[in-house]
Amino acid sequence: MALAKRIIPCLDVDNGRVVKGVQFVDIRDAGDPVEIARRYDQEGADEITFLDITASHEQRDTMVHVVEKVAGEVFIPLTVGGGIRETADIRRMLNAGADKIAINTAAVFNPDFVRQAADQFGSQCIVVAIDAKRVEDDAQTGEPRWEIFTHGGRKPTGINAVEWASRMVSYGAGEILLTSMDRDGTRNGFDLALTHAVSDAVDVPVIASGGVGNLDHLAEGVLQGHADAVLAASIFHFGEYTITEAKQYMVRRGIEMRL
Amino acid sequence: MSSIAIIDYEMGNLHSIAKAVEHVAGETRVLVTSVPEKILAADRVIFPGVGGIGHCMESLLRRGLDPVIREVAASGKPLLGICLGMQAMLERSEENGGIDCLGLIKGEVRRFSDSLNDNGVKLKVPHMGWNQVHQQTHPLWQDIDQDSRFYFVHSYYAIPAESADCAGVADYGGEFCCTLARENLFAVQFHPEKSQHAGLTLLRNFSRWDGRDS
């Protein structure tokens, strides 16, 4: 008997539709979020993450309705991220039926927001999303280094990703959603060194994200990256693999799963 | 028409629980309320909660809900504690520097050790995700497979003083009690409202339970 590792399908939602960009450029329409969430739930998804990539403020209401609708019929944990800037945004999503809220850019510009959010709503529902890119190796130690990037991976911040993860946990983050901007959309697999470094540096669960192209990548994220959960989008959206197949594969690799 | 009251004291997302109960409880009326009379008038009561125990007890006391929960417990009506609601049923928690709780069940609440490990692998705290629950005989486990997985997210766990009050155990760096049962009280550390089929079945069983433990 042991805690299972989790498989989390991620739905990028733009104006009420699920889309998936390849390195934030080529946006393909993948369907209705409620329908897709229902299918993933039936296939055994352990959790579902919605990232609201809608640019305009007016269209954010659409996301609230999507969450409400999904929460009324899908009874597994739901995480919502994208455009979360103030505690009012968090309350709105929690009231709509979200269980966890992912804070990304707002944490970088105002780290105290994470502390405030965790105090008000509890660490269990505050996920800090980190977009990291590999930069030059440390000049002294020769170790690899990663930095936090904002604006879809375009703007460097100079912040060390591993240190940032530890700091966010000390501010009350209950979980880290770690995306490699180098790998996102490439289908070449997770940045395992990054995943490993962050997962071993913090006490809270780490979700590996960015780069999954096949089932072997999911297993590597857990076995070599030490991730507690693995997140993927396109391999599930376009019907290459079902969540059930992914879980059965993980079990064959000796990973504890909920089947 | 029978009714289920979900106690609202602003500790966590009650909508998920209400939606899940509505999904399985058929004709039952489900109300989310902080009004003592409405809670006491309901046929069954759910006592949920997420967050810190200090804030939880303070909020119950401020709203005058602690005597209401005691009265429900003493009335013989089915009472279901979820997550922090379960922890609050014990006598004391070491969270937030030590907090006295409701004491409906003898025992205390402690934090998972930071040095928790499983065969040398360091375990994360909070305990978050799907874990197996080994059930003891109880009517609320009806139609749920032994060792089914439920969704957990918590850093503190219950230690009932009497082992007879434990109706389910899970393993996280060692066995811990994740379900309490005593007469008309049933309380779970995991989130049935987020535990898909197994969780919904438990909620359906609760919506029909007469409050007897056999």
Cβ contact B199–A75 (<8 Å): yes
- Chain A residues 126-145 within an 8 A CB cutoff of chain B: none
CA distance A139 to chain B (A): 30
pLDDT average, residue stretch A78-84: 94
Q: Which domains does chain B have, with CATH numbers?
A: 3-208 (3.40.50.880)
Instruction: Please check whether residue A1 lies inside any domain of the structure.
Output: no
A152–B contact, CB cutoff 8 A: no
pLDDT at A173 over 60: yes
A116 vs A23, residue with greater confidence: A116
pLDDT at A1 over 70: no
Residue A28 has a pLDDT of 67
B138 vs A237, residue with greater confidence: B138
pLDDT 10s digits, A30-53: 788 999 999 999 999 999 999 998
Residue of A nearest to B149 (CA): A258
Instruction: Please check whether residue A184 lies inside any domain of the structure.
Output: yes
Instruction: Please check whether residue A17 lies inside any domain of the structure.
Output: yes
Residue A29 has a pLDDT of 73
Percent pLDDT > 90 in chain A is 76
Instruction: Please check whether residue A129 lies inside any domain of the structure.
Output: yes
Among A75, A94, A203, the residue with its CB nearest the CB of B193 is A75
Query: Tens place of pLDDT for every residue, chain B, 214 residues?
Result: 899 999 999 877 788 899 999 999 988 999 999 999 999 999 999 999 888 899 899 999 999 999 999 999 999 999 999 999 999 999 999 999 999 999 999 999 999 988 888 877 788 999 999 999 999 999 999 999 999 999 999 999 999 999 999 999 999 999 999 999 999 999 999 999 999 999 999 999 999 999 998 7
> ipTM, 2 decimals?
0.93
Instruction: Please check whether residue A258 lies inside any domain of the structure.
Output: no
CA distance A58 to chain B (A): 24
Q: What is the CATH number of the domain that holds A239?
A: 3.20.20.70
Mean pLDDT of chain A: 92
* Cα separation, A225 vs A158, whole angstroms: 24
What is the DSSP track for A94-160?
HHHT-SEEEE-HHHHH-THHHHHHHHHH-GGGEEEEEEEEEESPPTTT---EEEEEETTTTEEEEEE
Q: What residues in B contact A41, CB-CB < 8 Å?
A: 196
Instruction: Please check whether residue A164 lies inside any domain of the structure.
Output: yes
- Give the catalytic positions of B in this structure: 83, 191, 193
Amino acid at A35: E
The total number of structural domains in chain A stands at: 1
User: Which residues have C-beta within 8 Å of that of residue B99, sequence separation ≥ 6?
Assistant: B53, B54, B57, B92, B93
The pairing of strands B44-47 and B3-7 is parallel
Mutate to test the interface with B, among A3, A41, A93 (most CBs of B within 10 A): A3
Instruction: Please check whether residue A89 lies inside any domain of the structure.
Output: yes
Among B12, B15, B127, the residue with its CB nearest the CB of A3 is B127
* Cα separation, B14 vs B49, whole angstroms: 8
pLDDT average, residue stretch A172-180: 97
- Residue A54 is part of which domain span? 6-253
